[in-house]
């Protein structure tokens, strides 16, 4: 696992949790955060308690086995469609009990985090290459 990337994501997630706490949101009731939105794609996070995830029909058994009290999923949308959902972190404590980025790092699912990172990198690369090619063609 890319430790630097995990630390960055954990820090970002901690800021999202602190922001949600500051807005009097029921953290343990589940919420979402749209981290980045562009014209054709977006990346975000779902903060779901165990009960919410287990209520999703057709959730793969491999994912069900990793679900804990609090779960953070990375989402990837492309052209209005959900193309990726990654269970990047699972914790045995409530969202309101998370105190530091280290708590988040301890619950990271390494493979899921790397899959999330690679999917985002692929989309960003295609978008960048496409934009460069459009500008070259326009000139």
Higher pLDDT, 44 or 24: 44
pLDDT digits (tens, 9 = 90+) for 51-92: 999 998 888 888 889 999 999 999 999 988 888 899 999 999
Residue 18 has a CB neighbour count (10 Å cut-off) of: 11
Give 137 or 18, the one with higher predicted confidence: 18
**Dihedral over Cα of 16, 107, 89, 30: its sign:** negative
Mean pLDDT of the chain: 88
Q: Measuring CA to CA, which residue among 44, 48, 38, 40 is closest to residue 68?
A: 48
pLDDT at 24: 84
Of 29-38, 97-106, 120-129, which gets the smallest average pLDDT? 120-129
Measure Cα distances from 79 to 12, 71, 102, 127 in Å. 25, 26, 34, 12
- Nearest one of 8, 91, 77 to 47, comparing CA atoms: 91
The pLDDT score that the predictor gives to residue 130 is 62
Which carries the bigger pLDDT value, residue 134 or residue 98? 98
As a whole number, mean pLDDT of residues 92-119 equals 94
């Amino acid at each position: 696992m890319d430790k630097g990337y995990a630390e960055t994501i954990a820090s970002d997630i901690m800021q999202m949790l602190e922001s949600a706490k500051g807005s009097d949101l029921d953290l343990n009731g589940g919420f979402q955060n749209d981290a980045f939105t562009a014209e054709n794609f977006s990346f975000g996070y779902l903060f779901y308690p165990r009960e919410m995830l287990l209520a999703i029909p057709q959730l793969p058994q491999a994912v069900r086995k990793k679900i804990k009290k609090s779960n953070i999923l990375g989402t990837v949308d492309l052209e209005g469609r959900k193309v990726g959902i990654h269970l990047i972190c699972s914790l045995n404590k409530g969202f309101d009990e998370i105190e530091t980025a280290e708590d988040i790092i301890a619950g990271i699912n390494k493979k899921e985090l790397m899959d999330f990172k690679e999917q985002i990198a692929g989309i960003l690369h295609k978008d960048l290459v496409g934009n460069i090619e459009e500008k070259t063609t326009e000139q």
